[in-house]
Amino acid sequence: MRRHAGYLVFAVVVMTIPAYLGDAYYLSLLAFMATRFMMAMGLSLLLGQAGQISLGQAAFVGIGAYSSAILTTRLAVDPWLAMLVGAVIAALLAGLVGIPTLKLRGYYLAMATLGINEIVHILLMQLKGLTNGTDGISGIPSLRLGGLDLGGPKAYHLVAWGLALVMLRFSLNLAQSRVGRSLRALRRSEPAAESLGIDTARRKVQVFMLAAVFASVAGSLDAYYIHYVSPESYTITFSIILITGVILGGLGTIWGALWGTLAIVILPELLKRVNEDITNLVFGVLLIVIMLLQREEGGSVLESVKARLHERLSRRASSDSGGE
Amino acid sequence: MTFDQFLQYIFSGITSGSVYALTAIGFTLIFSATHIINFSQGQMVMLGGLGAVALHRAGLPLWACFLGAVAAVTLLSTGLERAAIRPLLRKGVLAQIIATVGAAFVLETAAMVAWGREALSLPAFSGETPLVVGKATIIPQTLWVLGLTIVIVVVLQVFYRRSLFGTAIRACAVNPTAARLQGISYQKVVLFSFALSGAVSAAAGVMITPISFMSYSSGALLGLKGFAAATLGGLGNPLGAVAGGYILGIVEALGIGVVSAGYKDAIAFVILLLVLFLRPAGLLGARVVNRH
């Protein structure tokens, strides 16, 4: 029961926010965080649990968003069904890319996802008949439930965070299950995991597909809330910002994705006051610095720094003459 | 497609193929020494081009722009090695990927701040008057690109095969521990590999800027294509990198003729995926693929 306490408190707090917060701006910001959290959770599972890195999460967000946009505006498909179709397409594409690359060393998936992101971006720009090119697609309807319009900030908040909480529960369960344990085992040592009978490549492909589904659903939700999609939202730059968030938040647990989401929503707002252009510069430097400070792959930065300080202090205390 | 059109596409394929080949060599040089894939490789190419543009604006002659940009990027690449790579040599693949991605992000943003968002160009090395071959035309810069690429590849091969230091580098690629036991300084080899990789990439960037322009964001795609070329040829094999680069360049150019220019950049990636599906070791690759 205790291990569910954190989740329950968080769920109650998040879901009751609309009861006392009426401001549309802050509610939109929070809803925006819900979808970023979904994208980050997928990456966090992939990175933290399976030790694989995707630099193309934005591509899957774009697939969800455009599937929803095209199906609802052109074919009048039900928004929920369109969201599901987007998720299936994202999962299939992830499988297609994951199967050949996840058998190989980490940089193949990284490079391939970078390529996927580039291609999806090119297709969104070039398939003008389908996507309207750079003009994007407007007039995307809101989500509905029965006769209820879920487009208002309060209703949307409940939908977005409701789905995010379902994904969080699922991810937490996954991390604690047999699957999660085998994933962490393969992150530590793949040959060892394999010798224990874990089908490492298959597990990694499954997690990669799951990350793509999370991203796709998040993209669909964004599209239904903003009622507009355009290609420039789904660039490699955005993918790398998401990765930065996940790494900043820490890879030890899925909760790290939440801190990471906070970081990528709040940091740019703060940096904008100094100079908008430097945001990505700061993110890039953070990525390098975190990697340099990190001791154990996937370990949290704070812990590494603490361990380092502790080591230095104890070394100083034990040596009389101060030398190393 | 008439024969003359075909010839025209081949010429343009050879030009971009040269750049992919040199970028692929840039990847290969670092990969052989460290087994690191440098995700900021494409940004080195971009900085070579933009660096030369900056020097040209300052009024330097073109040859000085070329040398100056190559020298600057070489320094930058060694700086990157000292600051971000050396401490990560013993850490896992993931940390190395993330750190070099971070470096790419930093370089790209810095270039945007320094040069703005527009694509910039350089004058061609020797005039713009096209040469006529049959009914196809070839611009003199294409010959410069091809010629300089051949020179760079040959010099590198001779250096790697004949010189003592080149042999030491190859020894490190085969087995770093055994090489170290022979008294080879592994750190020096790594540093030098980064320097050389930066120089080759920058040279590619300067050569191509008069033809296809360069902007702060060109690096990502160039890097991706260089990697696709290196993988196609067999990661870690310098001759494979050259072959992969030219095959990619020519297929891409013919693809523009057959499909449409808008989809040009997707071709490299489709090739990359096909190689990974069918033959991860690449065309001239080693016997063993780097699984985990």
* Calpha distance A90→B288 (Å, rounded): 32
A112 and B CB contact within 8 Å:
yes
| Chain B residue nearest residue A123, CA to CA | B263
Of A100, A105, A297, the CB nearest to B292: A105
CA atoms within 13 A on the CB side of B124: 15
10 Å CB burial of residue B292 (0-12, 13-18, 19+) is middle
* Calpha distance A193→B291 (Å, rounded): 14
Model-level ipTM above the cut of 0.90: no
Q: What is the identity of the amino acid at A228? A: Y
- B193, B34 Cβ separation under 8 angstroms: yes
Of B93, B102, B113, the CB nearest to A288: B102
Which of the 8 DSSP states describes residue B214? B
Model confidence at A273: pLDDT above 90: no
At residue B138, φ and ψ (nearest 5 deg) are: -135, 130
Binning chain B into helix, strand and coil, the percentages to the nearest 5 are 75, 5, 20
Least confident interval from A76-80, A192-196, B42-46, B120-124: A192-196
Closest C-alpha among B32, B77, B63, B23 to residue B204 = B23
Q: What residue spans define the domains of chain B? A: 3-125+135-278
Average pLDDT, chain B: 89
Give the model's pLDDT for residue A296: 60
Of A55, A104, A294, the CB nearest to B101: A55
pLDDT tens digits along B53-89? 999 999 999 999 999 999 999 999 999 999 988 888 8
Cα–Cα–Cα angle for A92, B39, A241, rounded to 5 degrees: 65
Tokens 């930093």 -> residue: B106
pLDDT tens digits along B242-285? 999 999 999 999 988 888 777 888 888 888 888 888 888 888 76
Q: Report the residue of A49, A119, A125 to disrupt the B interface, i.e. the one with the largest count of B CBs within 10 Å.
A: A119
- Which residues numbered 132-161 in A keep a CB inside 8 Å of some CB on B? none
- B232, B255 Cβ separation under 8 angstroms: no
pLDDT tens digits along A210-235? 999 999 999 999 999 999 999 999 99
Q: Are strands A137-138 and B131-133 parallel, antiparallel or unpaired?
A: unpaired
Q: What is the identity of the amino acid at B94? A: L
CB contact under 8 A, B276 and A100: yes
* Calpha distance A98→A82 (Å, rounded): 24
- A246, A152 Cβ separation under 8 angstroms: no
Average pLDDT, chain A: 86
